[in-house]
C-alpha cells in the first residue's frame, strides 16, 4: 500500500476514515442515547405494556404507544394504498408510453414533488386541501359508499377535513415520487431484447408491461414500495398540520388521531415531567427502530434487484 | 362481436390510458401545490417582510427578518459542519477503502440514514446538546441539520469519485505523486461538478427541514444571531404562524413558504441540470 509510506497521506487516510465512520457512530449514538433517555419509561411500562396501552395521560403519568402506533399504521398503510398504483402507473408512462422528448421532463417534474419540503405540504394541506376534503370529497364519500354495511364504518362522523383521510392523502402525494422513481429505474433494467421478442410474437404494449416488464422488475418495485413505507412512517410536518393530535383509536377515517411523529412534534417541548419526556423518547426509539428495519429491508430488495439484473 | 385481437388491443388501450392518467394525476398535484403557494405567497410579499422583525398581532408592518437571518445562520453552520465530513467520508469510501467490505457497509448504512425520520435526529440532538446545557441553541439546530446532510453528501461524493476513471489516478501515481495529492489535485478536480451538485442537493434537502429544529434551535420572536440561545428559523416560524389564529400570521407564513419553496426548487433544478449536463444521469432521491 503506497499511502503508508507518506506521513501526510496517513493523516489524510485517518481523517477521511474517521469522517466516514461518523455515519456508524451516529447510528450507534442515536440508538444508545434514545435507549438511555427512555430507560425510565421502559422500566415503568415495559415493552408490551407500552405498545398495548391506549393511555396517554400526562396528568396521571400513564403512557402507552397504542394510539400513536395506530395513527402511524393507518396513515402509512392508507397512503401506500393510494400511492402505489399511481406511482407504478407513472413509472410505466415514463418508461413505456411517453414519447422520448417527454420522458425526461415528466419524470423530473414528478421527482420535484419529493423536493417540496414537508412543511409546505402541511401548509397547503391545512389551508387548501382540508377545506376541499371537508366540503366536497368527504361528504361525497359518505353519501356514496358511507351507507354500505361494513365499509360505512370508515366514513362515520362529521367531515372536518382534519382527520386520518386527509393526512393519508397528503402522505400519498409525498411518497409517489419515491415509488415512481425506483420503479422507473427497475423497469429500465428489463433487457430490451426480451421486450422486443414479445413484441415480435405480437404482444400488445400492455401485455409486454404486464408479462415481461413487471415480473422482471418486481423486486425493485417492491423495494421502492418498502422505501416509501419507511418514508411515510417518519413523515412529521405534513401530517402534524392536518391530523389534530388526538390520542384515540377510531374506526372512522374522518376522525382526528395522532401518529408517533405528530405526538413528538407537538408535545416534546411541553413535557414537564421526567416520565413524560422519557415516554416521548421511548416513542422516538420505537420510530427509529421501525424505520431503520424497514429502510434496511428496502435497501436489501433494491440491491438484490440490481445484482440480479445488472 | 369483437375478435380476440380487438379485445386485447382494447385492454391494452384502457390500461395504458390509466397509466397516462396516473402521470397527469402526479403532475396535477405538483401544479396544484406550487400554484397555491405562489398565489398565496405573492400576495403576502412586501419589503417589510425582510426588513422588520415580528410585531404583536394586530399591529401593522411586522416582518420576519429574524427568521430569515436565523435560518441563514443555522443552515450556513450546518453546511460548514456537514459538507467537510461528508466529502471526506465519501473520499475514504471511494478511494482508500475502495472495494473493501467496510466501504460497502458504510455506503448502505448512509443510504438508510438518508431516509431516517428527521424528527428522530431532533430528539437525539435534544438529548445530547439541549438537555445537558438546559436551553435551546442555534448550535443544536445546526448540528441536527448537519447530521442530515452528512449521509447525503457522503453518498454523492462516493458516487462521483467512483466515476473518475482509475487510469487517471494511475497516470498521477506514475509521476510519483502520493495518494493524497492524487486525490486533491486529480480526483477532486475531475469530480468537482459532481461534488458541488451533491452539496447543492444536500442544502436543498435541509433548508426545508422543520422537525429537527423544533426542539433544538426552537424559535425566537426577537432578532438574535446568538448561536448559544434559541434562534428563529423560517420553517419553525411557518409552523407556529400557520397553526396560530391570526390572518396576518397566515399570510406571513405563506410568504415565507414561497421564499423557501423557490429557493429549494432553484437549488434542486440547478443540481439536476449539472448532473444531466456533466454526467447524463439523474440524482437518486
What sections of chain B are H helices per DSSP?
Answer: 4-44, 48-51, 65-91, 101-115, 118-125, 138-162, 166-174, 179-182, 188-190, 192-207, 211-214, 234-243, 247-279
Contact A210 B15 (CB under 8 A): yes
- Interface probe, candidates B99, B176, B179, B247, chain A, greatest A C-beta count within 10 A: B179
What's the mean pLDDT in B138-165?
95
**Residues counted in chain B:** 285
**Grid cell of A21 as nine digits:** 465512520
Contact B242 A126 (CB under 8 A): yes
Contact A97, B20 (CB under 8 A): yes
Please report the pLDDT score of residue A4 as a whole number: 55
What is the Cα–Cα distance from B71 to B223, expressed in whole angstroms?
A: 11
Minimum Cα–Cα distance from A261: chain B residue: B119
Is B61 or B250 the better-scoring residue by pLDDT?
B250
Contact A119 B126 (CB under 8 A): no
Kindly give, in sequence order, each residue whose CB lies less than 8 Å from that of residue B16, ignoring residues fewer than 6 positions away: A92, A97, A205, A206
pLDDT band at B169 (very low <50, low <70, confident <90, very high): very high
Q: Is A38-308 a CATH 1.10.3720.10 domain?
A: yes
Kindly state the DSSP code that residue B96 receives in the 8-state scheme: I
The answer, yes or no, to whether residue B100 has pLDDT greater than 70, is yes
Please report the pLDDT score of residue A1 as a whole number: 46
Q: Kindly provide the ipTM of the predicted complex, given to two decimals.
A: 0.93
User: Which residues of chain A are modeled with pLDDT < 70?
Assistant: 1-5, 309-310
Contact B238 A108 (CB under 8 A): no
Contact A295, B112 (CB under 8 A): yes
- Give the domain ranges of chain B: 68-233
Please report the pLDDT score of residue A160 as a whole number: 86
Contact B153, B78 (CB under 8 A): no
Minimum Cα–Cα distance from B158: chain A residue: A20
Please report the pLDDT score of residue A310 as a whole number: 58
Nearest to A265 among B23, B108, B214 (CB): B214
What is the Cα–Cα distance from A237 to A224, expressed in whole angstroms?
A: 22
> Of A112, A289, A26, which is closest to residue B128 (Cα–Cα)?
A26
Minimum Cα–Cα distance from B117: chain A residue: A234
User: What's the pTM?
Assistant: 0.94
> Contacts of residue A88 in chain B, CB cutoff 8 Å?
22
Is A275 or B279 the better-scoring residue by pLDDT?
A275
Minimum Cα–Cα distance from B37: chain A residue: A124
What is the Cα–Cα distance from A83 to B232, expressed in whole angstroms?
A: 35
End-to-end CA distance of chain B: 48
> Contacts of residue B121 in chain A, CB cutoff 8 Å?
30
pLDDT band at B285 (very low <50, low <70, confident <90, very high): low
CATH of domain B68-233: 1.10.3720.10
Partners of A257 in the beta sheet? A244
- Interface probe, candidates B12, B36, B119, chain A, greatest A C-beta count within 10 A: B119
pLDDT band at B1 (very low <50, low <70, confident <90, very high): confident
Nearest to B260 among A117, A227, A284 (CB): A117
Amino acid at each position: 500500500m503506497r499511502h503508508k509510506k507518506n506521513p501526510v497521506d496517513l493523516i489524510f487516510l485517518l481523517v477521511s476514515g474517521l469522517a466516514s465512520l461518523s455515519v456508524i457512530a451516529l447510528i450507534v449514538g442515536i440508538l444508545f442515547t434514545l435507549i438511555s433517555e427512555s430507560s425510565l419509561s421502559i422500566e415503568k411500562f415495559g415493552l408490551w405494556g407500552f405498545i398495548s396501552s391506549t393511555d396517554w395521560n400526562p396528568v396521571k403519568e400513564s403512557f402507552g404507544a397504542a394510539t400513536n402506533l395506530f395513527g402511524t399504521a393507518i396513515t402509512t398503510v392508507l397512503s401506500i394504498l393510494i400511492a402505489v398504483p399511481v406511482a407504478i402507473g407513472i413509472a410505466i408512462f415514463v418508461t413505456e408510453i411517453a414519447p422520448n422528448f417527454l420522458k425526461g421532463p415528466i419524470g423530473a417534474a414528478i421527482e420535484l414533488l419529493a423536493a417540496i419540503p414537508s412543511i409546505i405540504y402541511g401548509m397547503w394541506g391545512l389551508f387548501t386541501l382540508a377545506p376541499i376534503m371537508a366540503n366536497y370529497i368527504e361528504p361525497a364519500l359518505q353519501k356514496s359508499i358511507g351507507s354500505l354495511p361494513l365499509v360505512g364504518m370508515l366514513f362515520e362522523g362529521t367531515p372536518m377535513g382534519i382527520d386520518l383521510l386527509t393526512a393519508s392523502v397528503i402522505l400519498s402525494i409525498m411518497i409517489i415520487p419515491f415509488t415512481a422513481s425506483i420503479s422507473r429505474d427497475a423497469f429500465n433494467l428489463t433487457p430490451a431484447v426480451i421486450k422486443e421478442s414479445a413484441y415480435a410474437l405480437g404482444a400488445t404494449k400492455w401485455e409486454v408491461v404486464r408479462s415481461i416488464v413487471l415480473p422482471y422488475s418486481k423486486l425493485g418495485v417492491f423495494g421502492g414500495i418498502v422505501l416509501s413505507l419507511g418514508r411515510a412512517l417518519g413523515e412529521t410536518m405534513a401530517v402534524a398540520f392536518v391530523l389534530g393530535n388526538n390520542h384515540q383509536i377510531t374506526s372512522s377515517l374522518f376522525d382526528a388521531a395522532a401518529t408517533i411523529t405528530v405526538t413528538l412534534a407537538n408535545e416534546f417541548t411541553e413535557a414537564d415531567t421526567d416520565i413524560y419526556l422519557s415516554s416521548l423518547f421511548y416513542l422516538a426509539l420505537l420510530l427509529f427502530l421501525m424505520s431503520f428495519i424497514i429502510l434496511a429491508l428496502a435497501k436489501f430488495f433494491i440491491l438484490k434487484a440490481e445484482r440480479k439484473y445488472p | 362481436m369483437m375478435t380476440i385481437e380487438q379485445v386485447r388491443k382494447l385492454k391494452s388501450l384502457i390500461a395504458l390510458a390509466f397509466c397516462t392518467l396516473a402521470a397527469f394525476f402526479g403532475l396535477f398535484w405538483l401544479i396544484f401545490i406550487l400554484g397555491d403557494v405562489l398565489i398565496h405567497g405573492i400576495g403576502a410579499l412586501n419589503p417589510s417582510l425582510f426588513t422588520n422583525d415580528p410585531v404583536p398581532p394586530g399591529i401593522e408592518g411586522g416582518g420576519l427578518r429574524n427568521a430569515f437571518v436565523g435560518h441563514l445562520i443555522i443552515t450556513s453552520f450546518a453546511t460548514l459542519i456537514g459538507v467537510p465530513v461528508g466529502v471526506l467520508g465519501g473520499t475514504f469510501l471511494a478511494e482508500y477503502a475502495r472495494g473493501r467490505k467496510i466501504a460497502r457497509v458504510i455506503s448502505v448504512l448512509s443510504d438508510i440514514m438518508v431516509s431516517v425520520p428527521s424528527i428522530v435526529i431532533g430528539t437525539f440532538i435534544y438529548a445530547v446538546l439541549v438537555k445537558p446545557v438546559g436551553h435551546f441553541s442555534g448550535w443544536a439546530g445546526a448540528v441536527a441539520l448537519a447530521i442530515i446532510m452528512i449521509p447525503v453528501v457522503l453518498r454523492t461524493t462516493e458516487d462521483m469519485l467512483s466515476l473518475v476513471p482509475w487510469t487517471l489516478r494511475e497516470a498521477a501515481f506514475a509521476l510519483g505523486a502520493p495518494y493524497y495529492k492524487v486525490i486533491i489535485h486529480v480526483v477532486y478536480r475531475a469530480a468537482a461538478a459532481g461534488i458541488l451538485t451533491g452539496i447543492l442537493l444536500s442544502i436543498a434537502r435541509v433548508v426545508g427541514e422543520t422537525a429537527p429544529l423544533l426542539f433544538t434551535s426552537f424559535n425566537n420572536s426577537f432578532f438574535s444571531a446568538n448561536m448559544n440561545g434559541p434562534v428563529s428559523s423560517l420553517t419553525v416560524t411557518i409552523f407556529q404562524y400557520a397553526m396560530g389564529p391570526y390572518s396576518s400570521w397566515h399570510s406571513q407564513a405563506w410568504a415565507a413558504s414561497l421564499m423557501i419553496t423557490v429557493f429549494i426548487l432553484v437549488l434542486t433544478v440547478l443540481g439536476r441540470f449539472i448532473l444531466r449536463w456533466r454526467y447524463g444521469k439523474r440524482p437518486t432521491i
